[in-house]
Amino acid sequence: MESATPVIVAIDGPSGTGKSSTSKAVAAQLGLSYLDTGAQYRAITWWMVNNGIDIDDPSAIAAAAGKPEIVSGTDPQAPTIFVDGVDVAGPIRTQEVTSKVSAVSAVPEVRARITELQRSLAASAEHGIVVEGRDIGTTVLPDADLKIFLTASPEARAARRSGELKGADVHSTREALIKRDAADSSRKTSPLAKADDAVEVDTTDLTLAQVIECVVTLVEEKRAGK
Ligand SMILES: Nc1ncnc2c1ncn2[C@@H]1O[C@H](COP(=O)(O)OP(=O)(O)O)[C@@H](O)[C@H]1O
Ligand SMILES: Nc1ccn([C@@H]2O[C@H](COP(=O)(O)OP(=O)(O)O)[C@@H](O)[C@H]2O)c(=O)n1
């Protein structure tokens, strides 16, 4: 019989490195829950935009941070994200939200609120969970059983992203990614960073299947060592 101890896996890295695709597949293969923390930051950003909060005013964002109710469904086969009962899976992927999410997620009150949600979801996952984001290994779940930090060249990441956004050209996608990485890496409160004990995987020349296999093997090794 497999160990019944829940396993906690943290997967961090910049945009387009394969965090979501890898995390979902690994969680599905191993029977674990899955949490996309970027979707939570996008959801609170969507709410701020829809409620007329000035994104350039951190104190206005901080004052509103506790208002929206954000609920994440953690089934890797069908992850969901609701804000005040509204399914926002589509609206949180617009260019407008993407361009504003770094400013909203830099506000400490927003991070405190979302981090608490993330920790409570991780603690209640019966078989364990794969949590992906920017600060999971460093701040949200520093005691995770396994930490992975995914990287890839800006060119590979931009090509992957513009393949998804029909009509978007690779050059402007690359510029937007680099700008968002810089904002996420330089903010004061829990920036995008590799934890000292994270395993770094450069996915530039790997297929998605190879990355999934690599992470599944690392989780199984950890479990066997328990
Ligand atoms: N190793 C890979 N090789 C090629 N394409 C990939 C690879 N990993 C992910 N992708 C593709 O790149 C895009 C972005 O992946 P995603 O998992 O959303 O990245 P992230 O969550 O890090 O932003 C998706 O279309 C995905 O299918
Ligand atoms: N743990 C996390 C996850 C995301 N984020 C923020 O949320 C944004 C969107 O994250 P995402 O994972 O949906 O981004 P993509 O990789 O899908 O482009 C990031 O650019 C960060 O500003 C964060 O601050 N901390």
Q: List, chain by chain if needed, residues with CB within 6 Å of any ligand 1 atom.
A: 13, 15-21, 160, 164, 203, 206-208, 211
- The first and second tokens of residue 56, run together, are 């350039």
**Residue closest to 147 by CA, chosen among 62, 215, 92, 205:** 215
How far does residue 202's CA lie from ligand 2's centre (Å)?
19
Pairing of strands 7-12, 128-133: parallel
* Section 205-209 average pLDDT: 98
How far does residue 118's CA lie from ligand 1's centre (Å)?
23
Please state the separation of Cα 184 from the chain's center in Å: 12
Does the interface ipTM go beyond 0.90? Answer: yes
- Residue-wise pLDDT tens digits, 73-118: 999 999 999 999 999 999 999 999 999 999 999 999 999 999 999 9
Q: Is the pTM here over 0.90, yes or no?
A: yes
Domains of the chain: 7-224 (3.40.50.300)
Confidence of residue 1 (pLDDT cuts 50, 70, 90): very low
- Ligand 2 pocket, residue 38 CB under 6 Å: yes
Return d(Cα 119, Cα 18) in angstroms, integer. 23
Cβ atoms of 64 and 53 closer than 8 Å: yes
Classified as helix, coil or strand, 32 is: coil
- Residue-wise pLDDT tens digits, 17-49: 999 999 999 999 999 999 999 999 999 999 999
Confidence of residue 166 (pLDDT cuts 50, 70, 90): low
Return d(Cα 211, Cα 116) in angstroms, integer. 29
- Ligand 2 pocket, residue 17 CB under 6 Å: no
